[in-house]
């Protein structure tokens, strides 16, 4: 899930932090709940952000190649201005007539295939997935949910129960079935579609045999928590068809791949040539302001809405809508996804050159500006590969560049910079990761 998280209770002397930070950690531990964690062996303390950069109290700049929420960069001035202007007039909910709510809803659904023409707003990606599951279960009359084997779909009770990534302490729902992905299973790309379809059909057979039935296939089309296993494009399509044959709905979790992250497409599912029944949005939708949505086909959305109440005090509030509208306008006006695709090609080319050196880069996977980089020598024990990946991440943190890890063994580097990164940022990152790899491998 993330890199070398600090324990939830600080022990003096375990990290060579300045007194200012060590005292702040101690104060956190005295007042915050035990579920909180700090990232990196030497936690970072930031006081402001601008574009691709975060700054600590001493003015040191850190290049952010990790945070995909501020996809337009930290503290984008136009987004902030839209947020402040609306907050200075009124912050209200969706039960009052508000033209901007309808304007944004129309503009948002216009970015989707025509089959997806209804939207319900939420506050977070977790809430979006929670609502999508409710709609799918209501529309299908079934309970079963199929997810990938290391998926993460959120933190509410319902979606945590279908998120294997959260670990053994979180008990999965008896209605969930996990399917393996062809990449981690070592299946050739030419056989990936066969493999995935077989996995999905086996899950369907088991759910039906137990009288549970299939409500949904819930997938993050970039499979970010599984280790960014993105290829070959389209390998999920026959599994999608199998779920529909069984009466289930297809939910595309676009919280990670959505809003142009893949570069070539606005939405991750488009890369696979499918049209889901529901798509869930969050994270970059407000560039840091909490807002999410479920976009879907009319029939299941109307069927659910006619008989089940869904009202949320803050979802679709006027400040959030104004903020999200500014984000979408800038994405489209400045052709951010297309520029991000060009930067992803530059980043990939640089990483492939580095991988030719004996630094321990085993594989590189990406869709646009979301990369998974496998670390560790071929044949090395899993624990060794994981330790090396964590060492690289922490060496880069000390060098002023932020990334994280992903995958079941956490031996893949997770690289997902804001979409506004430029050539100079890519080059700075490449130099930093090569330094880190030399340091760790040496």
- 333, 361, 387: which is the final residue of a domain? 333
| Domain identity same for 317 and 349 | no
Which of the listed residues 295, 314, 333 is the one where a domain comes to its end?
Answer: 333
Q: Which of 333, 364, 397 is the last residue of a domain?
A: 333
For residues 258 and 377, membership in a common domain is answered with: no
Cβ 197 vs Cβ 238: under 8 Å: yes
Q: What is the mean pLDDT of residues 184-192?
A: 93
Q: What is the pLDDT of residues 24-83, one digit of tens each?
A: 888 888 888 877 788 898 899 999 999 999 999 999 999 999 999 999 999 999 999 999
How many separate domains does the chain show?
2
Domain of residue 118, CATH code:
3.40.640.10
- Residue 268 three-state SS: helix
- Alpha carbons within 13 angstroms on the beta-carbon side of residue 286 total 23
Counting Cα atoms < 13 Å in the Cβ hemisphere of 54 gives 19
Q: Within a domain: residue 26?
A: no
- Rounded Cα gap, residues 386 and 394, in angstroms: 12
Decide if pLDDT at 11 tops 50. Answer: no
- 340 located within any domain: yes
**In a shared domain, residues 318 and 180:** yes
User: Are residues 278 and 388 both part of a single domain?
Assistant: no
Residue 20 lies in a domain: no
For 190, the domain range is 77-333
* Sequence-ordered alpha helix ranges (H) in 141-269: 157-160, 192-209, 237-245
Residue 14 counted as domain residue:
no
Whole-angstrom Cα distance, residue 256 to residue 294?
Answer: 14
- Give per-residue pLDDT as tens, 201-216: 999 999 999 999 999 9
- Quick check: is 17 in a domain? no
Are 216 and 146 in contact by the 8 Å Cβ rule? The answer is yes
Task: Let me know if residue 215 belongs to a domain.
Answer: yes
- The verdict on 302 and 343 lying in the same domain is no
**273 and 178 fall within a common domain:** yes
Residue 156 shares a structural domain with residue 254: yes
Same-domain check for residues 314 and 424: no
In the chain, the largest separation of any two C-alpha atoms, in whole Å, equals 63
Q: How confident is the model at residue 22 (pLDDT cuts 50, 70, 90)?
A: confident
Q: Quick check: is 174 in a domain? A: yes
């Amino acid at each position: 899930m993330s890199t070398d998280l600090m324990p939830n209770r600080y022990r003096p002397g375990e990290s060579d932090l300045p007194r200012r930070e060590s005292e702040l950690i101690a104060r956190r531990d005295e007042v915050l709940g035990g579920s909180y964690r700090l990232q990196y062996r030497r936690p970072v303390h930031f006081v402001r952000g601008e574009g691709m950069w975060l700054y600590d109290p001493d003015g040191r700049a850190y290049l952010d190649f990790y945070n995909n929420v501020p996809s337009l960069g930290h503290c984008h001035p136009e987004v902030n201005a839209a947020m402040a202007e609306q907050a200075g007039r009124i912050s209200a909910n969706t039960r009052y007539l508000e033209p901007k709510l309808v304007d944004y809803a129309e503009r948002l659904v216009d970015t989707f295939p025509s089959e997806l023409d209804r939207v319900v707003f939420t506050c977070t990606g977790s809430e979006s997935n929670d609502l999508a599951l409710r709609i799918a279960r209501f529309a299908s009359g079934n309970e079963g949910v199929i997810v990938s084997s290391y998926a993460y779909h959120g933190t509410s009770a319902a979606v945590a129960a279908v998120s294997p990534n959260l670990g053994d302490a979180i008990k999965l729902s008896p209605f969930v079935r996990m399917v393996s992905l062809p990449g981690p299973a070592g299946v050739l790309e030419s056989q990936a579609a066969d493999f995935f379809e077989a996995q999905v059909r086996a899950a369907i057979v088991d759910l039906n045999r137990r009288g549970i039935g299939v409500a949904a296939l819930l997938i993050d089309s970039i499979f970010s928590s599984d280790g960014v296993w993105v290829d070959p494009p389209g390998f999920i399509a026959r599994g999608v068809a199998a779920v529909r044959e069984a009466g289930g709905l297809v939910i595309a979790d676009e919280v990670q791949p959505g809003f142009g992250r893949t570069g070539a497409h606005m939405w991750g599912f488009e890369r696979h040539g499918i049209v889901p029944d529901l798509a869930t949005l969050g994270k970059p939708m407000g560039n840091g302001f909490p807002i999410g949505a479920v976009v879907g086909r009319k029939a299941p959305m109307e069927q659910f809405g006619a008989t089940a109440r869904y009202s949320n005090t803050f979802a679709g509030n006027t400040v959030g809508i104004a903020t999200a509208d500014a984000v979408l306008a800038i994405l489209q006006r400045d052709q951010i996804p297309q520029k991000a695709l060009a930067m992803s090609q530059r980043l990939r080319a640089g990483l492939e050159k580095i991988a030719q050196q004996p630094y321990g880069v085993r594989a590189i996977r990406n869709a646009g500006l979301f990369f998974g980089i496998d670390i560790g020598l071929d044949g090395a024990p899993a624990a060794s590969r994981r330790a090396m990946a964590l060492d690289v991440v922490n060496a880069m943190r000390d060098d002023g560049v932020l990334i994280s890890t992903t995958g079941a063994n956490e031996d893949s580097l997770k690289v997902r910079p804001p979409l506004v990164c430029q050539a100079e940022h890519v080059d700075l990152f490449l130099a930093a990761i090569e330094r880190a790899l030399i340091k760790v491998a040496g």
